[in-house]
Structure 1
Amino acid sequence: MTCLADEPYAIGTLGDRLATPNVGRSLQVTILSFKPVPIMTITTPRPDDASGSVISKRLATLLLLAVFGAEAALAQQPTDPAASERDRAVKVERLIAALDARTLSERQAAERELIDLGLDILGLLPRENDLPTAEMRQRLRRIRSQLEQLESTTSIDATPITIRDARTLGDALGQITRQTKVQFSGAINASLPVKIHAVKIPFWNAVDEVLDAADLDIDRFGGVEQSLKLVPRSPDRPRRSDTAAYSGVFRIEPISVTARRDLHNPRLSGLDLMIDISWELRLTPIGLSLPLKEFGAKLDNGDVLQLQASAETAEAMPNAGIPSTQTSIPFQLPAGRPAKIDTLSGTIDALLPGKIKHFDFDLGSDTFPSKDAGDVTVTLESVRGNGSLHELRVNVKFKQADRALESHRGWVFDNPAYVTAANTDPAETPDDGSDKPAQPTRIENLGYEIYRQTSDEIGIGYLFDLESQPARFQFHYETPSSIVRSEVRFTLHDILLP
């Protein structure tokens, strides 16, 4: 007799079946999982007397427990990622076809289900021009737009880090590197004993926990791109995790307090608090503003520390390649002799880049259609001869720029803009006997100028040496797909005063 785990009758009446007289002297029971794969086979003597009912009930209970235990064990077995990806692709293909279903409710349901599948399907969506009807293309456009906006928003969340049973500094830092690609250099004794176990904590919390365990600090100006330079922690320097506040991708820490008393004009006296704002290395903020009306500070003597009357906003200017910046908060000089600021709370208005998108334009085409991703539209407006060079005029427009394109912000000029051409120089082609195509040669722009700038778009003309043959080249441009405004609230404690 075969008992299937998804047949309640077979399990519920197993005892009665075992107690039924039969010619055979033994009974073989094969237990299957919900999948058609045998898990367990049990062979037992068949009872043929009155005691058989007792034995059968005990056996039925044992078999019932075995079914669920074996099924749970099978559920813990790893699934095949390739099979899961194939299943997802098949489902996406079916739902895309349903965007052209006969009834409106079916088409709407397919659109909702595709959005609910989340970011994993972005790479599986077809091109709009490959769809046969206008309604399918419109629905696909909405699906892609919503998923790209979600992608941009999630890209500014703190990166969760898991460190499992690290026993050395090298192991702990290595686990962070594998999850973030952030490299560590400088004063690293990889064999230094530490004991760290943390599950899904934000990036900066994880870094500080490791550095505190190893008595290390960060040289804010010593690292290179995607790298943090570590230095020994000064003997009197508090633990990093004791002095910092953490919020999303940001780490905020006070670094100095300066008091001044003007004896000729007491109104010019004041107290300046310098704070350091760090962010995860995978992104650089577009702008950071600190509205001072949102700040509040309380001293250890119970008094409120007042801001300077003329102060409205403190600006912090991010620089590409350095994952931190500093700004000063101006307070009035407090009366008496308070020893510390008990609590300081504030807000940072951050403009952050969404997911970086790559746009390609074939310069041999007759026309250059605009390309969209998330909230950004990139248009290659023209390719013009400019003496021995060529000028490629590119317009970048955001639906919600939110002050990101103000003239004092230079982030947009750091966006990569370059061309590639097939490598036709035999001296530079790998001579390995393979059929691999030659790697394209990347050619950087020779300079740029702004030809248009408004609150939500900017036009930049890039100069390239295209050897009088622009049709041989492809233009590449990279930019955030959106500008995300984030309100970062933080609270600092126990800031010692001079």
Structure 2
Amino acid sequence: MPRLSIRLALAATTCLFAADAGAGDLEEEVLIQLEELGSPRLADRQAAEGALVELVGDAPGDAERVLELLPAANDSIPPEVQAALQRVRLRIERGLAQRATAASRVTIQVAQAPLAEVLAEFSRQTGAKFRDNREAFGGDAVKRPVTLTLKDEPFWSAVDKLLDEAKLAIYPYGDEGEIALVDREASAGRRSGAGAYAGPFRFEAVSLSATRGLRDEGASRLDIAIEAAWEPRLRPIALSQPMSALTVTGSKGQTLVPRTPEQSIDLEASPGEQATTLTLSLALPDRQVERIEKIAGQMTAMIPAATHEFRVEQIGAAKLPIVQTFGDATVTVSRFRKVNAIWELHMRLRLAEAGDSLASHRGWVFQNKSYLVDAAGERIEHAGFETTMQTEGEIGVAYLFDLAGGDLLDFEVNEAADAGKPADAGEPADAGEKENAIDPKDLTWVYETPTGVFTLPVSWELGPIDLP
């Protein structure tokens, strides 16, 4: 296909961004490089792929913008160009995931500044949200002036110094993407120096207990509870710490061994959580070991890619199944039908490189937003859901919607030969019901999901820690 034809085909899919005042030169440059993807010369095509990735630069906002400007697959774009777009999208998303593992940085110099202003500046520089919850928890909400000087300080080191200065602690169950602050207990020690930092993660040993089995020596153990916290922006799906990737050294160079070296500690992160606790169970060391000099671990973090919004217009009149793909994610809507008083929407999410994200750690899928939008633009949230199928790379979910009598159209779509053919309409509603009924053909289904999941290594180290 000539490059001019490709430019026209791609422009048709990206023209909606031209009206966006924020698009500007970036939108035009993306379109130029998209045209080059159709060049007959291999060198030009490869250069265009590289140029699209380089447009991302260092600003996360630009990366997300470029991803938005890349057109979705359609019949007017040649297969080889679609394959190139997929490679570009994957490289950008991997770059975003890699960038997510670098700590945010804080630079600030204030003297006797109001706490609220300092928190606002932290938010501006890092994107993290902070909430002063002292009063809500019965604490003293009196103004606390802050004096603090930080220069290019990593996120958690900066937060620790701020909280020490303001005599505050973190409430671990704040809203999603938010760090809630409360008064610090009088018995609590300083945060600075108590933890170790690994990119956007903070690790701290919070308790240690030794148990000696008097009847069964095999019950003897040394348990170390370690809190792993992360920057709110990270939103990890799961953390995994294989005991085989753990090294514990005693005060005289002894190696302390895990009780179950074949075990892996796998923890899912729930929305709103900013931290989780790993309990490392070791064989009880000899009494000659007075302290742990060092604990070093190699953890893996499962990080979601950028979120994409899938939309199906006029879902009640659509010919199903409908398949949409963006990035590594493919969403299939197979059925939208009324069962008794409830409408069921059956969909499937498939990831090209799912890893364990849909097998062992699929809880994140159930946090994806799924809702209907009526003709007036009002959202209709689902009333519940159930899992309909699951494989290593795909999961099916049936979302339930109460449309308050919306039975003017009643389609039941078959996934086989009759796909897309409307079934017989249900019993017509009486006049009173029609006044308040929602017409399903006017509804739009919206589904928001990460377009991929990446597993990234996190190396951490703590110590020394005195034994009891």
Amino acid at match of 1:214: A
Q: Aligned equivalents of 1:208 and 1:340: distance in 2?
A: 25
In structure 2, the partner of 1:151 is: 96
Deviations 1:402-427 (A, max 9, x none): 1122266422112111111132xxxx
In structure 1, the partner of 2:461 is: 491
Q: Aligned equivalents of 1:357 and 1:142: distance in 2?
A: 17
For the residue of structure 2 that corresponds to 1:241, the secondary structure is coil
When structure 1 is superposed on structure 2, of 468-477 and 360-369 the one drifting more is 360-369
Deviations 1:122-151 (A, max 9, x none): 333445549565554554444334334433
Distance 1:145 1:372, change over 3 A: farther
In structure 1, the partner of 2:158 is: 206
1:166 aligned to 2:117?
A: no
Distance 1:296 1:91, change over 3 A: closer
Between the two structures, name the one with larger relative contact order (CA 8 Å, sep ≥ 6). Answer: 2
Q: Aligned equivalents of 2:361 and 2:69: distance in 1?
A: 39
In structure 2, the partner of 1:116 is: 54
Q: Aligned equivalents of 2:42 and 2:299: distance in 1?
A: 45
- 1:445 aligned to which of 374, 377, 382: 382
Give the C-alpha shift of residue 387 in structure 1.
Answer: 1.8
Give the C-alpha shift of residue 389 in structure 1.
Answer: 2.1
In structure 2, the partner of 1:57 is: none
Distance 1:261 1:383, change over 3 A: same
For the residue of structure 2 that corresponds to 1:297, the secondary structure is strand
For the residue of structure 2 that corresponds to 1:281, the secondary structure is coil
Q: Aligned equivalents of 1:344 and 1:195: distance in 2?
A: 31
In structure 1, the partner of 2:132 is: 185
- 1:330 aligned to which of 251, 259, 281: 281
Give the C-alpha shift of residue 305 in structure 1.
Answer: 2.2
For the residue of structure 2 that corresponds to 1:144, the secondary structure is helix
Give the C-alpha shift of residue 278 in structure 1.
Answer: 1.3
Q: Aligned equivalents of 1:331 and 1:133: distance in 2?
A: 58
Q: Aligned equivalents of 2:264 and 2:46: distance in 1?
A: 47
Q: Aligned equivalents of 1:254 and 1:237: distance in 2?
A: 14
Matches within 5 A, 1:210-359: 210-221=162-173, 223-309=174-260, 312-336=263-287, 338-359=289-310
Q: Is the 8 A contact 1:278 1:323 kept in 2?
A: yes
For the residue of structure 2 that corresponds to 1:170, the secondary structure is helix
Distance 1:259 1:135, change over 3 A: closer
In structure 2, the partner of 1:478 is: 448
Amino acid at match of 1:380: V
Distance 1:326 1:269, change over 3 A: same
Q: Aligned equivalents of 1:137 and 1:399: distance in 2?
A: 15
Number of matched pairs: 398
Q: Aligned equivalents of 1:87 and 1:408: distance in 2?
A: 41
Q: Aligned equivalents of 1:397 and 1:127: distance in 2?
A: 16
Matches within 5 A, 1:52-201: 86-101=24-39, 103-118=41-56, 119=63, 120-126=65-71, 128-129=73-74, 135-154=80-99, 156-167=100-111, 168=113, 169-179=115-125, 180-187=127-134, 190-199=143-152, 201=153
Give the C-alpha shift of residue 345 in structure 1.
Answer: 0.8
Deviations 1:254-282 (A, max 9, x none): 11001112222222111110111112223
When structure 1 is superposed on structure 2, of 394-403 and 142-151 the one drifting more is 142-151
When structure 1 is superposed on structure 2, of 268-277 and 228-237 the one drifting more is 228-237
For the residue of structure 1 that corresponds to 2:272, the secondary structure is coil
In structure 2, the partner of 1:63 is: none
Q: Aligned equivalents of 2:306 and 2:36: distance in 1?
A: 29
Distance 1:299 1:109, change over 3 A: closer
Amino acid at match of 2:159: V
- Aligned-residue identity in percent: 32
Q: Aligned equivalents of 1:319 and 1:102: distance in 2?
A: 49
Q: Aligned equivalents of 2:124 and 2:312: distance in 1?
A: 34
In structure 2, the partner of 1:66 is: none
Q: Aligned equivalents of 2:49 and 2:288: distance in 1?
A: 65
Normalised to the residue count of structure 1, the TM-score between the two structures is 0.73
Amino acid at match of 1:296: T
Q: Aligned equivalents of 1:170 and 1:212: distance in 2?
A: 16
Q: Aligned equivalents of 2:358 and 2:27: distance in 1?
A: 39
- Stretches of structure 2 lacking an aligned partner (at least 5 in a row): 1-19, 57-62, 135-140, 408-438
Give the C-alpha shift of residue 464 in structure 1.
Answer: 1.1
Q: Is the 8 A contact 1:161 1:202 kept in 2?
A: yes
- 1:454 aligned to which of 360, 372, 391: 391
Distance 1:134 1:459, change over 3 A: closer
Q: Aligned equivalents of 1:346 and 1:453: distance in 2?
A: 32
Give the C-alpha shift of residue 191 in structure 1.
Answer: 4.0
Q: Is the 8 A contact 1:385 1:391 kept in 2?
A: yes
Q: Aligned equivalents of 2:293 and 2:124: distance in 1?
A: 38
- Stretches of structure 1 lacking an aligned partner (at least 5 in a row): 1-81, 424-439
- 1:381 aligned to which of 324, 334, 338: 334
Q: Is the 8 A contact 1:170 1:192 kept in 2?
A: no
In structure 1, the partner of 2:6 is: none
Distance 1:238 1:300, change over 3 A: farther
Q: Aligned equivalents of 1:95 and 1:240: distance in 2?
A: 49
Q: Which has the larger radius of gyration?
A: 1
When structure 1 is superposed on structure 2, of 111-120 and 206-215 the one drifting more is 111-120
Amino acid at match of 1:490: W
Amino acid at match of 1:394: M
For the residue of structure 1 that corresponds to 2:255, the secondary structure is coil
Q: Is the 8 A contact 1:287 1:409 kept in 2?
A: no
Segments of 4+ in structure 1 off by > 6 A?
A: none
Q: Could you say what the CA RMSD is over the residues aligned between the two structures, in angstroms?
A: 2.7
Q: Aligned equivalents of 1:218 and 1:248: distance in 2?
A: 19
- 1:395 aligned to which of 320, 325, 348: 348
Q: Is the 8 A contact 1:243 1:493 kept in 2?
A: no
Give the C-alpha shift of residue 309 in structure 1.
Answer: 4.8
Q: Is the 8 A contact 1:311 1:330 kept in 2?
A: no
For the residue of structure 2 that corresponds to 1:347, the secondary structure is strand
Q: Is the 8 A contact 2:128 2:179 kept in 1?
A: no
